[in-house]
């Protein structure tokens, strides 16, 4: 699949639920209203749609949410997709908050998952509770170390927030180095109405990187995972630190991904509202050929880039939907 700007679209991010067992301040409102079950694609529908993408050239699938591992019987989907590894699909992975990993890490490995991303914005238990609103850091840490013990390569994702965790990045780099994890720092994105002011949260990663260089030697590397992060080797730890910068440096020129929501809506760009509805097609019983034609048509509308901006005048999100709806 080639989009109008000559980019090969090989990466599909699939949200399996909008629900989460945490309420991170940059992602959700505290009082969220979640979708009724009937609106969500079934696991069988998700598998059928993923299979169509794989036939058209998708080589990497990331399962996301909300928190994907809270969806009932989601391991069945991992098992089905795992059977497609080596048959068009090259990598199956997951982004999680870690709360359910102690229970599921072994099953993920058995399905063919080799690496995972875990969201962890702070190592401070009190601050963790404040950021997640009601999370317990011990549950996430137990999950992270269960994943490591099961043989999964772990990457830690941390959203950089001014005045919240900006003094912790040296500690996170050191902790990740100690335990053999890579770290990826992410700029906060203006998606969905949240409690609080995004202009107060926003911290440019150019500033963070300059601060890290005071303590760590960051060496250029051509390492890539297929996503938007730019990585550096940390000489002192032997691990990597990555930076995802949708605000300070838009990475759209190399975008290779589209996002499927748990309701069957395909967003060709995280930062645009144009979408394609696949739930109605699936439930109308269309053929695989018709499904593939609809995917091609959607890819033909993929825009050149997003228009993220922190609106300091109106404090409104650039995109109304929450990240948990699109797939984090």
- Which residue ranges make up the annotated binding site? 13, 20, 24, 26-27, 62, 66, 95, 119, 155, 189, 252, 255, 257-259, 269
Bond into 66 cis (ω within 30): yes
Q: What angle do CA 108, 143, 187 make, to 5 degrees?
A: 95
Q: What angle do CA 198, 267, 304 make, to 5 degrees?
A: 80
Q: Which single residue is written with the structure tokens 């890819």?
A: 299
Q: Mark the binding-site residues for S-adenosyl-L-methionine, compressed into ranges.
A: 26, 66, 119, 189
Q: Mark the binding-site residues for [4Fe-4S] cluster, compressed into ranges.
A: 20, 24, 27, 252, 255, 269
Long-range pairs for 252-257: beta carbons < 8 A, 24 or more residues apart:
252/304, 252/305, 252/306, 253/305, 254/7, 254/228, 255/7, 255/228, 255/302, 255/305, 256/7, 256/8, 256/9, 256/10, 256/11, 256/226, 257/9, 257/10, 257/11, 257/12, 257/13, 257/227
HSE-up of 142 (CA within 13 Å, CB side)? 10
Query: Do residues 53 and 295 lie in contact, with contact meaning Cβ atoms separated by under 8 Å?
Result: yes
Please give, one letter per residue, the 3-state secondary structure of 181-237.
Answer: CEEEEEECCCECCCCCCHHHHECCHHHHHHHHCCCCCEEECCCCCCCCCEEEEECCC
- Dist. CA 139–CA 201, nearest whole Å: 26
Q: Mark the binding-site residues for GTP, compressed into ranges.
A: 13, 62, 95, 155, 257-259
Q: Quick one: angle between helices 43-55 and 74-82, nearest 10?
A: 20
Query: Do residues 61 and 168 lie in contact, with contact meaning Cβ atoms separated by under 8 Å?
Result: no
């Amino acid at each position: 699949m080639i989009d109008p700007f000559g980019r090969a679209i090989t990466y599909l991010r699939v949200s399996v639920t909008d629900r989460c067992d945490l309420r991170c301040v940059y992602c959700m409102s505290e009082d969220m209203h979640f979708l009724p079950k009937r609106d969500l694609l079934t696991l069988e529908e998700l598998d059928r749609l993923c299979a169509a993408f794989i036939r058209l050239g998708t080589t990497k699938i990331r399962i996301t949410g909300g928190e994907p591992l809270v969806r009932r019987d989601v391991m069945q989907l991992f098992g089905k997709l795992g059977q497609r590894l080596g048959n068009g699909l090259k990598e199956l992975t997951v982004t999680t908050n870690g709360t359910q990993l102690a229970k599921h890490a072994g099953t993920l490995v058995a399905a063919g998952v080799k690496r995972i991303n875990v969201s962890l914005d702070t190592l401070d238990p009190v601050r963790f509770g404040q950021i997640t609103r009601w999370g317990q850091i011990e549950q996430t840490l137990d999950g992270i170390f269960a994943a490591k013990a099961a043989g999964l390569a772990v990457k830690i994702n941390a959203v950089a927030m001014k005045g919240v965790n900006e003094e912790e990045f040296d500690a996170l780099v050191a902790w990740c180095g100690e335990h053999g994890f890579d770290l990826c720092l992410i700029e906060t994105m203006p998606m969905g109405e949240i409690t609080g002011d995004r202009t107060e949260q926003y911290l440019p990663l150019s500033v963070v990187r300059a601060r890290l260089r005071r303590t760590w030697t960051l060496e250029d590397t051509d390492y890539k995972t297929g996503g938007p992060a730019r990585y550096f080797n940390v000489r002192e730890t032997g691990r990597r630190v990555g930076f995802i910068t949708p605000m300070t440096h838009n990475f759209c020129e190399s975008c290779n991904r589209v996002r499927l929501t748990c309701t069957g809506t395909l967003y060709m760009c995280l930062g645009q509202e144009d979408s394609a509805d696949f739930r109605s097609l699936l439930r109308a019983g269309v053929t695989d050929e018709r499904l593939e034609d609809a995917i091609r048509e959607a890819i033909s509308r993929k825009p050149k880039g997003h228009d993220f901006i922190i609106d300091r005048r109106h404090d409104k999100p650039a995109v109304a939907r929450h990240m948990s709806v699109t797939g984090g």
